[in-house]
Structure 1
Amino acid sequence: MISKALNLPIQMTLLGLTASICQSLYAETGSSEPVLLPVIKIEAARTDTAWLNTPASVYRVEQDLNRNDLGVNLTETLKGVPGLQLNNRENYAQDLQLSMRGFGARSTFGVRGIRLYVDGIPATMPDGQGQTSNIDLSSLDHIEVLGGPFSSLYGNSSGGAILTSTKEGSGKDSIELGYSGGSHNKSRADVVLQGGADKAGEPSYVVSSSYFDTDGYREHSAAQKVLSNAKLTWDLEDGSKVNWIVNHVDINADDPQGLTRAQWKADPKQQVPFLKQFDVRKDINQTQTGLTWSKPLNDQQELYAMAYAGQRDVVQYQSIPSSTQLNPRHAGGVIDFSRDYYGTDIRWIGKDLLPNTRFTAGLAFDYMDEDRKGYENFDANGNYGVKGNLRRDENNTLWNLDPYLQASWNFLPAWTLDAGLRYSNVHYESQDHYVTAGNGDDSGKTDYDKVLPSAALSWAITPNVNTYVSYAKGFETPTFTEMAYSADDGMNFNLKPASSDNYEVGIKAQNALGNFTAAVFQSKTQDDIVSAGTVDGRATYRNADKTLREGVELSWNKALWRDLTAQASYSYIDATFDAAIPDSDVVKGIYIPGIAKNQAFAALGWQPETGFNAGVDVRYMDKIYVDDGNSDAAPSYTVVSANAGYVWKQADWKVRTYVRADNLFDENYIGSVIVNDGNGRFFEPADGVNWSAGLSVTKAF
């Protein structure tokens, strides 16, 4: 089914499949007493099945197992998820660089190609542009990562989906106070209040707030972040459940920007001297709220509804010389926008209306309205880093209205067919209010739409081994940010949406020897949206005729003995341009930049509920090409991290301490690359050996 011969990775997969079946048979026949295995429930696929029976590459990460860290961003939690490339830029002005099976790797800031959700509320706009900055790790319960064809059920830009869930309040009212500090004057203080409901109709609650600041690893990389999150939950007497979520984040961050290879080798901590005059930085302020409601109508039917609204303001100063802005078409060196957004998702679930079936029918609506302005980044005296004359003024709106259907039919005792259909559509409109001599009216609008079918056939070989094959059509529109600039500095309405055909074959095993997964996948994409170069902070994009992504993913985890656990994963992806791009460096067969061909992860942890705990992990990342011509690459690297802590409990008190060291052997490596940077400053260096330590005290009342 996979067209290319993947050689060693395929052989490894076949060995893995054989091993998983053998270990399942051994677990069933090698012991006289049955082993009681935990049921891992999965919500992301909306199939109401356990992890073992979900016909998709889906992984659940429990936050309680990731507490020996600062708790600032997802790189601390989402380690070792196969297929997920998570790069820390050491740059709080630009967010993390996330890609899944190669989708999203083109992003120079924010998240593209992956749908993000926080407590069921989208953290991704209708055009596919998302941020992770409002995910609160202090009150986080778990994360689910969904990759492969099944993720197309989430519509536009769903090369994968990451769904985070906040804890629900439980037990006695309690307060937790925590403080952590570390290298580069990192410090984080947080408070978490929580409590359960005594009876139906009363809310349980979790309220969390934190303050983080750092001088940064590199010159001009200081940052401050305030994040608050609240979740109230009502379990009502009629069986319905209501969650109300409120979230606020405020970030002020300097941007050190990238380095050339020579600059990185000379001093990875530096900011390019020429860029210091611009005081490049970003201020972000975002507030949102949302409500989810579920109600069983009877034993066979259930309703679910979600509604949300939010507001986001961003001001970003860029390193664009005044001479470049002499072009009357140029939008200036300061980006300033205010964005309002809201939406809803309503669905009906029917169970066993026909024998052994489950149906879901829903409608998702999302809307965004943005006032975007651009200013010169200098004043009349030629001083940079200040807001000057207006150079751009536009109102952008976009919305989608996606109906969708899902069905699951267990047509034989060991066989299940899952199918889905979603009509994904996105509507763009931009009204240009800055029309001057030499700068014409760039107003315009466009619509994108696609019918997205999906299907998966799964077979329970034994109660402990499940295999599946799946297919789905994918769809990804350009974001407003990607359309913002073209070769002539106007809106780039010529960008087409990407569409893909996605295939996957996988197997899962869950038994006394651990949880094992193996998947082989292929994605053929037409009109893929790829970088066309970044010059002076202006990222432009174009369409590639055809791209191809093929690969293998393996994962294993196991409770070895008492509280000793182990985890390992491996990912291989061969991501190439499958056709040349005229007037560019792209020829057929060249690698897509920003994507590591091989990744591996292994971790060992001693994790009792109380007392001493410790862990160590090793992460390998293959080289990453920096541009379409594959002219240079960030080298491969291996980093080791270690942590230790102690948890003490007595009556209503709990004390937790930890200490950790990352990049234990001081590897000099590149954390992420700026794909196709026109100035050759591709490299964003990662931190050397660094440490953190923390203490938290919890009191229940």
Structure 2
Amino acid sequence: MQVRSLVLFPLAVLPAWLHAQTTPPPPDADGGALAPVVITGSGSADQRWRGAATVDVVDGSELRNGQLQINLSEGLGRVPGLVIRNRENYAQDLQVSIRGYGARSTFGVRGVRLFVDGIPASAPDGSGQAANFPLGSAERIEVVRGPFASLYGASSGGAILLYTQDGGRPGEVRAGVAAGANGLWRFSTQASGQTGTAEAPGWSYTLDVGKFATDGARPQSSAHRSTANAKLSRAHEGGRTTIVFNRQSAFALDPQGLSRPQFDAGTPLTTPQAIQFNTRKSVSQTQAGVAWDQALGNGHKVELMGYAGQRRVIQFQSIPVANQNPALFPGNSGGVIDLDRDYWGFNARWRLQREWQGGQLNLSAGLAGDRQTDLRRGYQNFVGSTVGVTGALRRDETNTATTLDPYAQAAWQIQDWTFEGGLRRVGARFESSDVFLSNGDQSGGNRYSAWLPVLGVRWQLSPQTQAFASIGRGLETPTLNESAYSVGGAAGFNTDLNASRSTQTEIGLRGRNAAGLWNATLFDIRTRDEIVSAGTVDGRASFTNGGSTKRQGVELSAEYGMGNVTLSGAYTYLRARYGSGTASIPAGNRLPGLPEHQFFSQLAWAPAFASGIGGVFTLEARHTGSVFANDANNPTTALAERHTLLGIGARFEQTTGAWTWREFVRIDNLTDKKHAGSVIVNDGNSRFFEPGLGRSLSAGVELTRRF
């Protein structure tokens, strides 16, 4: 059985960091920094070895083997520079940031672009959700960091790309169940194959259907989710056509965050307001896309992609009844959010690959566009004395976000050198049309634009070692939600809120040998007009620009094999500080939501078993440094302490003919360490803390049949 795994004690991995880590792909190759413009992609190690971009690749088998296969955070702890934490609150999605980008998000994902099979899981305004990532059928996940990430467009401080498996021969049917603490269970089934014959193949297909549910670790935290993903692809002479479809429906109660005294109480508390108002969220989303590419001869190729979808969200919050009194708080938009979103987009690209001046030249240019239209309504969350129900209308707007970005990229590889460059012109237009005017006219709009250049170089020092460096600019726009209200409670769209602009540089070394792979990277990020909270007035949360910030750090990662033992780990040091500051944020304060130190290590042992039987035992450690939850850096009410979590696991595999059984069992948080699993940044009620799970047992079994 092939084994690729990770983890171990923190200090034990440090001597081995010079022996491992997945190597990055070139951004202009399929599967590289612009891969999401098409659904097809290639993730070969050789391609990643040739480029200057920083990309970690996690195989789909590593995401599934020995895991519950519910949250993206399960398999990505090994990626340096990435903070991804499970809130244990399925009403708010995961907490995700890359090198500090996206850390301010209180729900969903901001500042980091998400893609599934080349189709954005992020909206044009930069907001996104990772809940619809189909882990059961994933071929691989690529995590892009560094300057080349900006070639994905605005709000691309980093990118996470999931590619699903292609059906082939032999076909395969797979079904699995898993169970964990707090009544959690998951059932999923996958089918893949190819029509036609080996000599005349037809359509390749992959189908992934699953459902999970949990009672939740705290009162008011139960959830369930159903997903369906389908992918069809067919090669034709000189090209390929791919069709994808996905559907998700979910419901989750919302336990909300805890204040410091509540968190210190030491029991799985839920704030009383959440239970009183029965806070909850329901989501349904349907999306389809198609991609087509065709070789034109003489090294030319054209690629086209289009997608469209619809998303519906209804969320009940715990805003007090008194705060929704129209006479006292006319600007309040109520405690029930009703969002109906239609969205679509396209990407068209031309490629040229040929020899030039003794080297290999790759050129590409294209145009990408996306649009979302949100019908956003707000209602009071009470009727008479009954709370937690839909009441009177308090908000009725249509919000739109449109982007249209031309881009170009070039890479030239000659002998031991690769030179790469790219340029994207990002343009975003936000508009709001308000028809509920009794609480003030919120109509308005704003435009954001910038040129985003990137340059990179890779130098092959030896067959086993490379040096690389890159520099680029980025632009992060506010989301429609952050732009909705002016500072100070005044009516109108926040036209004073600017996009933040950053310059990012990195330099590093990476290598590989028979024992493993390794990577070491230094980075520096300077940002001006950082988007920060401006507080809440009359029930309206507003945002402003908070001066400059500086983020500097180092990323180390390695994987080292010694016979039937694999040792791997990842370490990130991130110093993130406000520079100029504001009247409410002193210069030198730490950016909230970010640990300065983060470490992951794993020791995996695969002993010899009888023929047809395999097994792996793992010992794992994850360390997270202290995290401030607000810009003020209040040490008594807004500081989540550092913690180290240990875990052990075992998985087994037996193959008999066309049948394969896989089983796993694992224990997380082995020492039952009390800790904050995540924080809600700048929460207006100072309920910053979301408790992490205590000691928890999970297990699962999967059966595969080849045909």
Residue in structure 2 matching 1:190, options 188, 196, 200: 188
2:136 aligned counterpart, secondary structure = coil
Matched residue, 2:293:
294
What's the CA shift for 1:69? 1.4
Structure 1 position 696, deviation (Å): 1.5
- State the AA in 2 paired with 1:51: R
Residue matched to 1:7 = none
Residue 222 of structure 1 and its aligned partner are, at CA, apart by: 0.2
Question: Equivalent residue for 1:367?
Answer: 371
- 1:130-187 Cα distance to aligned partner (Å, 9 max, x none): 1101101111110000001010111100100110000111223332221111110001
Q: Deviations over 1:403-422 (max 9, x none)?
A: 00001123x52222111100
Using the TM superposition, give the Cα deviation of residue 540 of structure 1 relative to its aligned residue in structure 2, in angstroms: 3.2
Aligned partners of 1:129 and 1:387: how far apart in 2?
26
1:162 to 157, 160, 163: 160
Q: Write the distance in 2 (CA, Å) between the matches of 1:40 and 1:682.
A: 36
2:78 to 71, 80, 88: 80
Asked if the contact 1:314–1:338 (Cα under 8 Å) also holds between the matched residues in 2, the reply is yes
Q: Deviations over 1:579-632 (max 9, x none)?
A: 1212x1x11111111110000110122459942222221100000011111103
Residue 432 (structure 1) aligns with: 434
- The separation in 2 between residues aligned to 1:46 and 1:121, in whole angstroms, is 12
Letter in 1 for 2:672: D
Tell me whether 1:483 sits opposite 2:483 in the alignment: yes
Q: Which residue of 2 aligns with 1:324?
A: 323
Aligned match of 2:425 = 423
Kindly indicate whether the alpha-carbon contact (under 8 Å) linking 2:614 and 2:652 is maintained by their aligned counterparts in 1: yes
Deviation track 1:546-573 (CA, whole Å, cap 9, x = no partner) reads 11111100110123214x3221111001
Q: Which residue of 2 aligns with 1:681?
A: 687
Amino acid at match of 2:629: V
Deviation at 1:489, TM superposition (A): 6.8
- Is contact 2:527–2:548 with CA below 8 Å preserved after alignment? yes
Matched residue SS, 2:151: helix
The residue that corresponds to 1:392 in the other structure is 395
Q: 1:502 and 1:398, CA in 2 relative to 1: closer, same or farther beyond 3 A?
A: same
Give the Å deviation of 1:16: 9.1
Instruction: Give a deviation string over 1:634-666, Cα, whole Å, max 9, x none.
Output: 000101122112211111111111111111111
Q: Per-residue CA shift, 1:272-323, capped at 9, x if unaligned?
A: 2243211111000001011122222225122211111110000000010111
Deviates more, 1:349-358 or 1:174-183: 349-358
Asked whether the equivalents of residues 331 and 539 of structure 2 are also in contact (C-alpha less than 8 Å), the reply is no
Equivalent position to 1:672, from 647, 659, 678: 678
Q: 1:97-108 to 2 correspondence within 5 Å?
A: 97-108=95-106
Find the counterpart in structure 1 of residue 580 from structure 2: 579
* 1:628 aligns to 2:631 (yes or no): yes
1:278–1:384: 8 Å Cα contact kept in structure 2?
yes
TM-superposed CA distance for 1:693, in Å, is 0.9
Q: What secondary structure is seen at the aligned counterpart in 1 of 2:261?
A: helix
CA distance in 1, matches of 2:662, 2:538: 46
Match in the other structure for 1:376: 380
Quote the Cα distance in structure 2 between the aligned partners of 1:134 and 1:173: 25
**Is 1:690 matched with 2:701?**
no
Aligned to 1:32: none
Secondary structure (helix, strand or coil) at the match of 1:151 reads helix
Q: Compute the TM-score of the two structures, normalised by the length of structure 2.
A: 0.91
Change over 3 Å in CA distance of 1:51–1:292 after alignment to 2: same
Distance 1:187 1:266 in 2: 29
CA distance in 2, matches of 1:179, 1:559: 31
- For 1:481, what is the secondary structure of its paired residue? helix
Which residue matches 2:6?
none
2:222 is aligned with 1:216 = no
Q: Distance in 1 between matches of 2:473 and 2:556?
A: 24
Shifted more, 355-364 versus 123-132: the winner is 355-364
- Secondary structure of 2:390's counterpart equals coil
SS in 1 for 2:314: strand
Tell me what 1:134 maps to: 132
3-state DSSP of counterpart to 1:297: strand
> Larger relative CO (CA 8 A, sep 6+): 1 or 2?
2
SS at match of 1:617: strand
3-state DSSP class of the match of 2:389?
Answer: coil
Equivalent residues of 2:525, 2:552 under 8 A apart: yes
Q: CA deviation at 1:354?
A: 3.4
Number of residues of Structure 1 aligned to a counterpart in Structure 2: 665
Q: Is the 8 A contact 1:528 1:547 kept in 2?
A: yes
Secondary structure of the residue aligned to 1:184 is: coil
Gaps of 5+ in 2: 1-10, 36-41
Q: State the SS of the aligned residue for 2:182.
A: helix
RMSD: 2.2
Shift of 1:201: 5.5
Contact map agreement 1:82 1:553 (CA 8 A) in 2? yes
Q: Alpha carbons of 1:520 and 1:462: their partners in 2 closer, same or farther (altered >3 Å)? A: same
Question: How far off is 1:667 after superposition?
Answer: 0.7
- Cα distance change, pair 606–46 in 1 and its aligned pair in 2 (3 A): farther
Cα distance in 1, alignment partners of residues 178 and 683 from structure 2: 36
What corresponds to 2:408 in structure 1?
405
User: Letter of the aligned partner of 1:612 in structure 2?
Assistant: G
Residue in 1 that maps onto 2:148:
150
- Bigger mean CA deviation after superposition, 48-57 or 285-294: 48-57
Kept after mapping to 2: 8 A contact 1:300/1:353 = no
For residues 408-447 of structure 1, the C-alpha deviation after alignment (integer angstroms, 9 at most, x for no partner) is 123x5222211110000101111001012xx222211111
- Single out whichever of 114-123 and 169-178 deviates more from structure 2: 169-178
SS in 1 for 2:324: helix
8 Å CA contact retained: 2:331, 2:540? no
Aligned to 2:32: 44
Residue 566 (structure 1) aligns with: 567
Matched-pair identity in %: 41
For 2:262 and 2:22, how far apart are their aligned partners in 1? 51
Gaps of 5+ in 1: 1-11, 25-36
Taking the aligned partners of 2:537 and 2:694, their CA distance within structure 1 comes to 29
1:598 aligns to what? Answer: 597
* Structure 2 SS opposite 1:103: coil
Matched to 1:347, the amino acid is R
Between 670-679 and 142-151, report the one with greater CA deviation.
670-679
Distance 1:317 1:274, change over 3 A: closer
Give the conservation status (yes or no) of the 8 Å contact 1:533–1:675.
Answer: no
Alpha-carbon distance in structure 1 between the residues aligned to 2:498 and 2:645: 39
Shift of 1:102: 0.6
- Name the SS of the counterpart of 1:500 in structure 2: strand
Structure 1 partner of 2:173: 175
The Cα shift of 1:493 comes to 2.7
Q: Secondary structure at the match of 2:587?
A: coil
Aligned to 1:5: none
Which position in structure 2 is the counterpart of 1:228? 228
Instruction: Give yes or no for contact 1:535–1:677 (8 Å, CA) kept in 2.
Output: no
Change in 2 beyond 3 A, CA 1:648/1:568: same
Deviates more, 1:490-499 or 1:338-347: 490-499
Post-superposition Cα deviations, 1:352-378, rounded to whole Å, max 9, x if no partner, equal 263331101011010111100000000
| CA–CA distance in structure 2, aligned partners of residues 39 and 671 of structure 1 | 29
The structural deviation recorded for 1:533 is 4.0
Which residue does the alignment assign to 1:241?
240
**Do the aligned residues in 1 keep the contact of 2:489 with 2:537 (CA within 8 Å)?**
no
Matched, 1:497 2:505: no
Aligned position for 2:3 = none
- Aligned: 1:65 with 2:62: yes
TM-score normalised to the size of structure 1?
Answer: 0.91
CA 309–451 in structure 1, closer or farther in 2 if over 3 Å, else same: same
Inter-CA distance 266–40: structure 2 relative to 1 (3 Å threshold): closer
- Distance verdict in 2 for CA 1:16–1:613, change over 3 Å: closer
Q: How does 1:512-527 map to 2 (within 5 A)?
A: 512-527=514-529
Aligned residue in 2 for 1:89: 87
